Amino acid sequence: MSRIAYFGPRGTFTEQAARLLAAGEELVPVETVRLAMTAVREGEADAACVPIENSVEGVVPATLDALSEASPLVAVAETILPIHFSVLTRPGTAQIRTVASHPHALAQVREWLEANLPGVHTVASSSTSAAAVGVLEGDFDAAVCAPVANEHYHLEVLATEVADVTDAATRFLLVRRPGELPEPTGADRTSVVAAAANRTGTLAELLTELAGRGINLTRLDARPTRSNFGEYRFFIDFEGHVAEPRVLDALTALRRHCRTLRFLGSHPRADGTRNTIEAGFGNDDFVEAAVWADAVRKGDMA
């Protein structure tokens, strides 16, 4: 059985994602995103499950930073969870006067609380799980939690699928030490982080290398590097798999432009969206062009 570190505590959405990405494995909650990855880097865990982006809040900066520091890790799988909550109470609670959760979660169910528990007093807790523990211990009457929380706390479920924004979702990654890559599926995502000088036009050059190969971006984030003022790290996600000739060709070109370029993985997309391949940009076009260029170099063709 593998040992999978995840950003804890127990009973959160990240545990729920880890159960999907590593079903049947030993799941170990770790206090921060960085420490979950450290556990993998130091061999204490085989993989880590961490959140990477949320459709409302955007990217998770701690995950980007931890992916780009220390020794390389690669993403081998992803999953997307809809963010809706369960409201949990102690069995037999007659009236709900107080409801606790992390302030982020309370903000995401405010309208639901106004409509369904009017006048309830909201209390901030350090995590959604801590709110469930508080309910167990009698500190509050109800807790707003990830659905998986109740697998640990066995409270009464007052409501499920609670969310003011019904299409909010978070994407999670499973990362490992570098090794065998997942097979390409035709609906893949490749991620890199590029450190480049803060010079006019740097990012335009990188993106033009991808565009010139017909490769579609799926996400781009720029983060200042802490250590070197004026230097940026660009986190670039795009369609395709490094096993494809066109993606390998693009990575080779990016490598020339960047002070450092780190490969963060190629893996199937959770949403199943197929790679965009426009006319003249297929892998066979790249293979054919390479065969032609090789023949030219040998003097067999012109």
- Binding residues (CB under 8 A) for a second copy: these are 55-59, 61, 102-103, 106, 122, 124-127, 130, 198, 200-201, 203-205, 207-208, 210-212, 214-217, 219-224, 276, 278
DSSP annotation of 290 = H
Q: Is residue 84 within 8 Å of residue 162, measured between CB atoms?
A: yes
What minimum distance in Å lies between the beta carbon of 139 and a second copy?
11
Sign, CA dihedral 139-8-126-150, equals negative
Neighbours of 157 (CB within 10 A): 12
Nearest distance from C-beta of residue 63 to a second copy, angstroms: 11
Other Cβ atoms within 10 Å of 262 Cβ, number: 17
Least Å from the CB of residue 218 to a second copy = 9
Give the DSSP H/E element, type plus range, for residue 9.
none
User: In the bound complex, what is the minimum distance in angstroms from residue 103's beta carbon to a second copy?
Assistant: 5
Closest to a second copy by CB, 60 or 87: 60
Query: β-pairing, 156-162 with 169-176?
Result: unpaired
Closer by beta carbon to a second copy, 279 or else 302: 279
Distance linking the first and last C-alpha atoms of the chain:
57
Minimum separation from the CB atom of position 174 to a second copy (A):
23
Of 4 and 30, CB closest to a second copy: 30
Q: How far apart are CA 20 and CA 14, in angstroms?
A: 10
Residue 219, CA distances (Å) to 94, 119, 203 in order: 48, 41, 14
Nearer to a second copy by C-beta: 25 or 164?
A: 164
Q: Which is nearer to a second copy, 47 or 83 (CB)?
A: 83
Cβ proximity to a second copy: between 71 and 126 the closer is 126
SS (H, E, C) 272-289: CCCCCCCCCCCHHHHHHH
150 token code pair: 């109740």
Tokens 């009236």 belong to 95
Q: How far is the CB of 150 from a second copy (least distance, A)?
A: 21
Could you tell me the smallest distance in angstroms from the CB atom of residue 256 to a second copy? 17
| CA 5 distance to own-chain centroid | 15
For a second copy, give the closer residue by CB, 2 or 208: 208
